[in-house]
Amino acid sequence: MTLAELRTATRNLSRQAESDSGTLFPAGDVLLDWFINSAAELVTLDLVDYLPSNFLTYEDISLVAGTSSYTLTAEWLQIYAMKRNVTDESAQIIPYYETTEELLAQVNGETAEFPVGFTLKGNSIIFMPKPSVSKTSYARCWIIAVESATIGSAGPTYIPRHAHRLIPLMACVLIGQMLESKATGYWEKMYQYWLGRVRDIVGQRIQQQPTFVKGSFTDKMYRDSRDLAFIDRVGYLDR
C-alpha cells in the first residue's frame, strides 16, 4: 500500500474523512502521518521474530589498525550474524561475547591480526582483540533493519504486502487509545487476527524441508581462555 492508500484506509476505518464534521484529521496529514509512522514501527516489532528474512540486510566492516570500535551506518534492531568476509575462505561466524565474558576473547591490552570475537557498547561494535592490521571489508554484519522513521510515498520498504493492512489497523488502535474509545478493543481483535494469519503463512516461506529451532552456535565452537602469558592461543578462532 502506498502512503496515500494508508492514509485513506486509516481515515475510513476511524470514520475521520476530511469532510466529516469536527474531524480529528483535517486536510493536513501531520497528525495522521504521526499515527501511521508510529503504527509501522509497532508492526515491524510484531513481525521481526517471525519474518526476519524480510528485514534482513547487511553492511561490510573494514578493520582499521589500532581501532576496536565500529558503528554501522544503517539503523538496526538486531544483529542476525557477524561473519568473516574473506575471499576464498569460509564465511565463519565471529562469536559474540558479553562484556563479562571478555576473558574468552582477549587479555588486557592485547592486539591481534584477526578478531576472536566482538561485543556491543550501545550501537557500537567492539572487536576483540583490537585489530593490529587494517583489512578491507573483513566482516559482513547481517542486520535486522527497520522501516524508515517516516513512511515514503511508495509505502513501506520492508513490511511485506500482505501485512500492509496491519498499519491502518494499528493506527486505529493508537487513535482509540488516545481518545479512550471503546472501539479500541475491536481494532485490537482485528489486528491480532490479521497478524496471526500473516505469521502463519508468510512466516513459513520455505516449505521444502522441516525446520527446527537451533541451539547456540557457541556450543559448537572451540574457545580457549588460557593466559597468553603462558601459552599461545591456537585454533581456527585466531582467523
Write down the domain spans for the chain: 3-51+160-201, 53-145
pLDDT digits (tens, 9 = 90+) for 37-63: 999 999 999 999 888 888 999 999 999
Helix/strand/coil for 205: coil
Highest mean pLDDT among 26-30, 73-77, 222-226: 73-77
**All three cell numbers of 36:** 501511521
**For residues 111 and 130, what is the distance between their CA atoms, to the nearest angstrom?**
5
The whole-number pLDDT of residue 17 equals: 63
pLDDT digits (tens, 9 = 90+) for 99-139: 888 888 888 889 999 999 999 999 999 999 999 999 999 99
Residue 166 contacts residue 43 (beta carbons within 8 Å): yes
